[in-house]
Structure 1
Amino acid sequence: MSKKTVVIGFLGSQLDSGMGAGRWSKWRPTVSLGQYEDTVVDRIELLHDKKHVELARQLVNDLANVSPDTVVNLVPMTVSNPWDFGEMYAALYDWARAYRFDPAHEQYWAHITTGTHVAQICMFLMVESRFIPGVLLQTSPPRKQRPGDPGSYTLIDLDLSRYDVLAQRFSQAHDEALDFLKSGVATRNKRFNALIEEIERVAVRSQAPVLLTGPTGAGKSHLARRMFELKRSRHQVEGDFVEVNCATLRGDSAASTLFGHKKGAFTGAAADRAGLLRTAHQGVLFLDEIGELGLDEQAMLLKAVEEKRFFPMGSDREVSSDFQLIAGTNRDLRLDVAQGRFREDLFARINLWAYTLPGLAQRTEDIEPNMDQLLARFGAEAGRAVRFSAEAKTKYLQFARSAEALWSGNFRDLLSSVTRMATLADGGRISTALVDAEIQRLRWLWQPAGEATADTLALSTLLAPDVWDGLDLFDRVQLEAVVRVCRESGTLSEAGRRLFDRSRTQRTVVNDADRLRKYLMKFGLSWAAIRE
């Protein structure tokens, strides 16, 4: 079924003017839209100043006479100065953002013959930036003026690849897109912000594959979805966002899940299956952990990406699907290529736009704004506001930004940490006691498996919180070793002899117990406390 044609244009206060019978003897651009014998305009969105409402109503009546099936919607759009670029652009921008475009069923023509030159430029920019998902429409009068002659029209499709010099984003739209990709978090890390700046441009200008690399929990899946939603807001995709973790695909189910199958293709294939590649038609397919795909599936995927065609399992007929691929991985695919685990040709195809997302430990400046945003989200979902006390926030951030905070789970660890504290906060206040407990939990979480001895786990409970927080990693490791020797020894003197077994031979006065006691006192520890 063909799409309906919708024209968006300004009322021409001069070109469209005329209230008497003589108006039919002149060429009027808006009325001409209903007079082309070979073209049917289904609807006109007629933007007009309120002071020209009578002329607008006259045009509605005249269009009904020449094209009864054309629906005309009058759209009041008053600006104090139609020659002010900022005011005109803002008015048109606001209208376009609120309008319910339906590119799947309608085609849009932006009429640039009427309106001030500033209005025409703004209409051009709306189409160029895809806020209006259509083409430009230029109408022209007949060479010889004759009543009823609509003249001619031209459609101008803005191919941005040919007009790079014109592909400029206005700061407002650009900033909104960056903020959208960052989920409204005012990130401070320069490297991350520069990366998002480029991803924003690629997301709205390119349909080529994108490769996102980074550790688990760095936000690859979330960023891929935000890229899709940004493209959808610009009317660049009509399909869905389809996500699959390739690490969950094994054997026949891998190819079947991705490419579909015919009934009877393998044991258990009781019915036809479309597959996720076809589900992602005209949308975005996000393959997380793409490095886990088998070599056979990699070969099939390469054909699907390059040719938009592939064979479902058990079928001798190709099917098609036009999707954009975003791939994610926490592995270095270059090493996998060198070791034969990943196809070199597929890597070259998906590596056109490759970005490495830094982990949270490499973005310590962004911990605070993300923490604030997570607290705000928790408050909105729980129906109660939760905040840190000033001392608690300072203490938590001091730990969170230190080398001791590994953030091995990245933003998943931060989300869990904030959720725990917010849930346990009495009266909506996160106290220093809650922060102390949470820090201990995180230290336990990040303790390497097999290395968490009783002495290591107990050390933080032996020390006063301010002493523990002030320890360098060097001092902590040394003190853990000293405590371990103390617990393995029967007396303070025995522990001293073991700890100072080399240096004691170089001193004339030997008092190992006193030397060890003074060392422990620096940290507020006693022999009795350690032995208990």
Structure 2
Amino acid sequence: MKPTTLIGFLGSTLDAGPFSPARWSKWRPSVSICMQEDLRIDRFVLIHGTQHNRLAQLVAEDIASVSPETEVTPLAMDFADPWDFEEVYGKLLDFARAFPFDPEAQDYLVHITTGTHVAQICLFLLTEARYLPGRLLQTQPARGAPQPVGTWAAIDLDLSRYDSIATRFAEASAESTHFLKSGIDTRNPAFNRMIDEIEQVAGRSRAPILLMGPTGAGKSQLARKVYELKKLRHQISGPFVEVNCATLKGDSAMSALFGHRKGAFTGAVADRPGLLKTAHKGVLFLDEIGELGLDEQAMILRAIEEGRFLPVGADSETNSAFQLIAGTNRDLVEEVAAGRFREDLFARLNLWTFTLPGLAERREDIAPNLDFELDRFAQVEGTRVTFNSEARARYLAFATGPAARWPGNFRDLAASVTRMATLSPSGRIDVEAVRMETERLARLWSGARANAGAGPALAALMGDEALAAIDPFDRVQLEYVVTTCRQSPNLSEAGRHLFAASRQQRTSTNDGDRLRKYLAKFGLDWAAVTQGER
């Protein structure tokens, strides 16, 4: 057998007794642990304060009389405040790092019956973290008549060996992941593995979380569920603050995020705390974080690293302790390479990055999400709507088939279910309702494919159905006309630019009227094309 070293505190109360033979009628934990018939202690590192030197000497002498083979090594360790967790843990950590442990040659026991509660907790944490490479040991007095020996028991920190505890941990983890999935029994293996990992991160880390994925993939819903899970576990007490960064433009972005002081700018009639301050002790979800400007990104980085930031117009910084969850549908690696996103902020966010797949990549999850959307419709509208079996089968065949694109992901699915449920006043979605809905989706998606070549100006001006009715050749020409109109001060100037070559061949022309007629051919006019551009 390897020799055994015991580490423990002197109990200034429990180990004390009269300096007379009467002390042997009392249970004293530091002495009793060396009196056990089934436990051999070769060395006892007895930690004590210098004010208890005499008691430590007496205990060492008593141990020598009952266990001559035990070498007692008194170790003086003084604390300015023995109830100061930081001080106690720091000094015990220094002790553990300096101690010449040799687990290959010796066994180690850590006695946590004596010492202040703070000291006991610190010994537990250091043993669990393997700074003290041993087993925890507890002693207690025997029941019945007073006697000095008492009993002892080792505490095994390997929870996997305790079947009932391991089962409860597994059940709790399963409940948490089910909660993160909004109670949906998802079937996609990759998605389920990702949720399992997010559950572990949510419970153990306050570092930023980055959720990537296409629009409508569920980033906002998942962020809120992470917040609710952390609140259930009493890890946070503040609110959930959500903002879509795409809505924050210009100078108002700084004010919205970081707050401002009264009089900081025209219209600042009162102090404003800002979203970061509002999220104190809670979770801040910055959706579409890739839309923030570089200045805002720099301040966000400092806020999450140091918990400090400067409100607009303020002379001094303010503090806020929040956990950041960021969402984006952009490829931030490409954004960093293009200089549109700060590399240092991306590095800070990239510790925990999770990419949510789109609905088209999780077709096996459409069926359980269909039930979820019906339940949500019932909660919102107060009306329960269901499918008949044939209608459900037909809808799922379409929704999971190759023709289903789901460009809006779960938002498309939610809208589709809402339409069918609303148009089924009997409370039953039938085959006809499914036929109408699937045809509608097919038209929308076909139009989206056909309009894929339309530029941003034209796409924002006209809807899918109008664009689908225009030949691709005309779309390219109309895109150029719209862009020119928006860059011109008036209709006539735009016409002169567009018809510059042909007007040289005519003695008189009305370029503005010609342009007006061209726009009218597509159902457009000057006001509609240029609204909000200047």
Normalization by structure 2: what TM-score? 0.55
The answer to whether residue 441 in structure 2 is matched with residue 442 in structure 1 is: yes
Change (3 A) 1:431 1:301: same
Change (3 A) 1:223 1:422: same
For residues 316 and 158 of structure 2, what CA distance do their matches in structure 1 show? 43
User: What is the aligned partner in structure 1 of residue 422 from structure 2?
Assistant: 423
Provide the secondary structure at the position in 1 that maps to 2:231.
helix
Q: How does 1:111-190 map to 2 (within 5 A)?
A: 154=119, 156=121, 163=129, 170-190=169-189
Quote how far apart the aligned CAs of 1:366 are: 0.3
% of aligned pairs identical? Answer: 61
Quote how far apart the aligned CAs of 1:238 are: 1.1
Quote how far apart the aligned CAs of 1:363 are: 0.4
Native 8 Å contact 2:114 2:120 kept in 1: no
The answer to whether residue 250 in structure 2 is matched with residue 285 in structure 1 is: no
User: What is the aligned partner in structure 1 of residue 108 from structure 2?
Assistant: none
For residues 194 and 367 of structure 1, what CA distance do their matches in structure 2 show? 18
Quote how far apart the aligned CAs of 1:156 are: 1.8
Change (3 A) 1:280 1:415: same
For residues 368 and 268 of structure 1, what CA distance do their matches in structure 2 show? 51
Give CA deviations for 1:423-457 in whole Å, capped at 9, x if unaligned. Answer: 222432211111000001111222335938xxxxx
Give CA deviations for 1:456-495 in whole Å, capped at 9, x if unaligned. Answer: xxxxxxxxxxxxxxxxxxxxxxxxxxxxxxxxxxxxxxxx
User: What is the aligned partner in structure 1 of residue 360 from structure 2?
Assistant: 361
User: What is the aligned partner in structure 1 of residue 324 from structure 2?
Assistant: 325
Instruction: Supply the RMSD in Å over aligned alpha carbons.
Output: 3.0
Change (3 A) 1:271 1:380: closer
What is the total number of aligned residue pairs between the two structures? 313
User: What is the aligned partner in structure 2 of residue 54 from structure 1?
Assistant: none
For residues 260 and 167 of structure 1, what CA distance do their matches in structure 2 show? 47
Quote how far apart the aligned CAs of 1:160 are: 10
For residues 219 and 160 of structure 1, what CA distance do their matches in structure 2 show? 40
User: What is the aligned partner in structure 2 of residue 209 from structure 1?
Assistant: 208
For residues 442 and 128 of structure 2, what CA distance do their matches in structure 1 show? 55
For 1:233, the aligned partner's letter is L
User: What is the aligned partner in structure 2 of residue 299 from structure 1?
Assistant: 298
For residues 450 and 368 of structure 1, what CA distance do their matches in structure 2 show? 25
User: What is the aligned partner in structure 2 of residue 235 from structure 1?
Assistant: 234
Moved more, 180-189 or 372-381: 372-381
Provide the secondary structure at the position in 2 that maps to 1:185.
coil
For residues 375 and 161 of structure 1, what CA distance do their matches in structure 2 show? 51
Q: How does 1:401-480 map to 2 (within 5 A)?
A: 401-449=400-448, 451=450
The answer to whether residue 340 in structure 2 is matched with residue 375 in structure 1 is: no
Native 8 Å contact 1:212 1:328 kept in 2: yes
For 1:397, the aligned partner's letter is L
Give CA deviations for 1:75-119 in whole Å, capped at 9, x if unaligned. Answer: xxxxxxxxxxxxxxxxxxxxxxxxxxxxxxxxxxxxxxxxxxxxx
User: What is the aligned partner in structure 2 of residue 389 from structure 1?
Assistant: 388
Give CA deviations for 1:41-62 in whole Å, capped at 9, x if unaligned. Answer: xxxxxxxxxxxxxxxxxxxxxx
Provide the secondary structure at the position in 2 that maps to 1:451.
helix
Native 8 Å contact 1:139 1:152 kept in 2: no
Provide the secondary structure at the position in 2 that maps to 1:156.
helix
Quote how far apart the aligned CAs of 1:229 are: 0.6
Give CA deviations for 1:139-161 in whole Å, capped at 9, x if unaligned. Answer: 759xxxxxxxxx97756267699
Provide the secondary structure at the position in 1 that maps to 2:354.
strand
Quote how far apart the aligned CAs of 1:383 are: 4.0
For 1:235, the aligned partner's letter is H
For residues 362 and 449 of structure 2, what CA distance do their matches in structure 1 show? 29
The answer to whether residue 397 in structure 2 is matched with residue 398 in structure 1 is: yes
For residues 363 and 204 of structure 2, what CA distance do their matches in structure 1 show? 31
For 1:156, the aligned partner's letter is I
For 2:240, the aligned partner's letter is F
Provide the secondary structure at the position in 2 that maps to 1:254.
helix
Quote how far apart the aligned CAs of 1:163 are: 3.9
Change (3 A) 1:368 1:266: same
Native 8 Å contact 1:244 1:288 kept in 2: yes
For 1:172, the aligned partner's letter is E
For 1:325, the aligned partner's letter is L
For 1:171, the aligned partner's letter is A
User: What is the aligned partner in structure 2 of residue 197 from structure 1?
Assistant: 196
Quote how far apart the aligned CAs of 1:281 are: 0.9
Give CA deviations for 1:206-227 in whole Å, capped at 9, x if unaligned. Answer: 0000100011110001100000
For residues 235 and 161 of structure 1, what CA distance do their matches in structure 2 show? 25
Quote how far apart the aligned CAs of 1:348 are: 0.3
User: What is the aligned partner in structure 2 of residue 120 from structure 1?
Assistant: none
The answer to whether residue 338 in structure 2 is matched with residue 339 in structure 1 is: yes
For residues 203 and 299 of structure 1, what CA distance do their matches in structure 2 show? 25
Change (3 A) 1:308 1:376: same
For residues 251 and 426 of structure 1, what CA distance do their matches in structure 2 show? 47
For residues 351 and 153 of structure 1, what CA distance do their matches in structure 2 show? 36
Provide the secondary structure at the position in 1 that maps to 2:284.
strand
For residues 152 and 344 of structure 1, what CA distance do their matches in structure 2 show? 46
Provide the secondary structure at the position in 2 that maps to 1:448.
helix
For residues 270 and 167 of structure 1, what CA distance do their matches in structure 2 show? 58
Change (3 A) 1:435 1:176: same
Change (3 A) 1:160 1:382: farther
For residues 282 and 152 of structure 1, what CA distance do their matches in structure 2 show? 28
User: What is the aligned partner in structure 2 of residue 57 from structure 1?
Assistant: none
User: What is the aligned partner in structure 2 of residue 482 from structure 1?
Assistant: none
For residues 353 and 218 of structure 1, what CA distance do their matches in structure 2 show? 18
Task: Choose 1 or 2 for highest CA Rg.
Answer: 2
Change (3 A) 1:159 1:413: farther
User: What is the aligned partner in structure 2 of residue 276 from structure 1?
Assistant: 275
Normalization by structure 1: what TM-score? 0.55
Change (3 A) 1:272 1:323: same
Change (3 A) 1:426 1:281: closer
User: What is the aligned partner in structure 2 of residue 50 from structure 1?
Assistant: none
Provide the secondary structure at the position in 2 that maps to 1:286.
strand
User: What is the aligned partner in structure 1 of residue 70 from structure 2?
Assistant: none
